Amino acid sequence: FIYLIKTLAAALICNSHMGELYPISTMAVGGSLGNSLFFIVSGFLISTKTEMGPAKWYLKRCSRLFPSYWVLNLVLLIFGVYGISSLPEFFYRFILPVKSFWFVGAILIFYALFYLVIRSGKQNLRCWILGTTIIYFIGYIFFQDLSRWTVEGSGYFKFIFYFDVMLCGYWIKINFAKVKEYAERYRARCLTGSVLSVVAFLGIRLAMIAVPVITYVQFLVQASSLLFAGFTFMVALSFEPQLKNQKDSIIGKAFVFIGSSTLEIYLVNYVLIDVVAQFIFPINMVLAFSMIFVAGVTAHYSINAGMNAVVGRLGRR
């Protein structure tokens, strides 16, 4: 069910970057919905084995991100997709990419904070969630320009929200037995909640476009994204037995391939969207999703195969 969620998240995020491919650019929505799915899954999957110490624990998390990130960035650099003219640019591209690929930069920061969350004990998780929520609303009320769409803009304010989402994913991990029981018993309610969250998300976004003054309540867009992530997680979880039965089917394998390659898909989608911009709608959409997913999956398995081969040779020595 995790692969299903990550596949959906990848599709939503890619779609949100395709404004130039649609006849109406506002059809390119779903970025915050997909991001919320990613971060709630990240919190759910986070390792709680902190006995190895903070440095080793953190580096182990980073080792799953940096190989693909560095390889693909080097490819983009070699082919002239972007250039690096200063040391700060190098830092924000290869070390802490909060200005180039903000999602990767955010997860690297969150990993560092999560070590403290885990070490503080499960009993303090609610305090972390409450504290982060309070910080969010303090920043929202006193430091955000609410006269325009800013909560999901290019700034760092959204980091606070997505850290809260990741904390909620960790809460699900801690209370997994109860969450699973609820999901299986009330699947219809969860599905309804997921659909209504999308309706609320789209309704509020469209209302803000039609009536700009409504931007003062734009936090509701992120709130609906969090609800969507939570309900969708439970819907997917409730179908786990059926999904297991389909794991060897073409669709099941597709979910595994795409769900395993979400980082690489995220890294290549910007470039490939530009490649198909010359084609008419909806052919450009079909080409975009096909090329992005194929390129991302190919990059993921190729890079990991190369890394495993290198590690294997070093181990034999």
- Convert the pLDDT of each residue in 15-50 to its tens digit: 999 999 999 998 999 999 999 999 999 999 999 999
**How far apart are the C-alpha atoms of 147 and 149, rounded to whole Å?**
7
DSSP per-residue codes, 30-72: -HHHHHHHHHHHHHHH-----TT-HHHHHHHHHTTTHHHHHHH
- Convert the pLDDT of each residue in 111-138 to its tens digit: 999 999 999 999 999 999 999 999 999 9
- Convert the pLDDT of each residue in 60-77 to its tens digit: 999 889 999 999 989 988
| CB neighbour list of residue 232: distance below 8 Å, 6 or more residues apart | 5, 8, 37, 194
**pLDDT tier for residue 315 given thresholds of 50, 70 and 90:** low
- CA separation (Å) from 252 to 213, 258, 300? 45, 10, 18
Q: Is the pLDDT of residue 316 over 70?
A: no
Half-sphere exposure for 221 (CA within 13 Å, toward CB): 27
146 DSSP assignment: T
Closest CA to 13 of 148, 104, 129, 74: 104
DSSP alpha helices (H): ranges in the chain?
2-16, 31-45, 54-62, 66-78, 87-90, 102-119, 125-142, 157-174, 176-185, 187-210, 219-238, 240-245, 250-260, 262-275, 283-316
Say what the pLDDT of residue 82 is.
Answer: 84
pTM of the model: 0.94
- CA separation (Å) from 163 to 103, 193, 267, 291? 11, 22, 21, 31
Compute the chain's Rg from CA coordinates: 20
Cβ atoms of 300 and 293 closer than 8 Å: no
91 DSSP assignment: I
- How many residues belong to the chain? 317
Say what the pLDDT of residue 80 is.
Answer: 84
- If you search the block for the tokens 């779609």, which residue do you land on? 15
**pLDDT tier for residue 311 given thresholds of 50, 70 and 90:** low
Q: Name the packing angle between helices 219-238 and 176-185 (round to 10°).
A: 80
**How far apart are the C-alpha atoms of 187 and 195, rounded to whole Å?**
12
**How far apart are the C-alpha atoms of 285 and 21, rounded to whole Å?**
7
What token pair was written down for 245?
């039965």
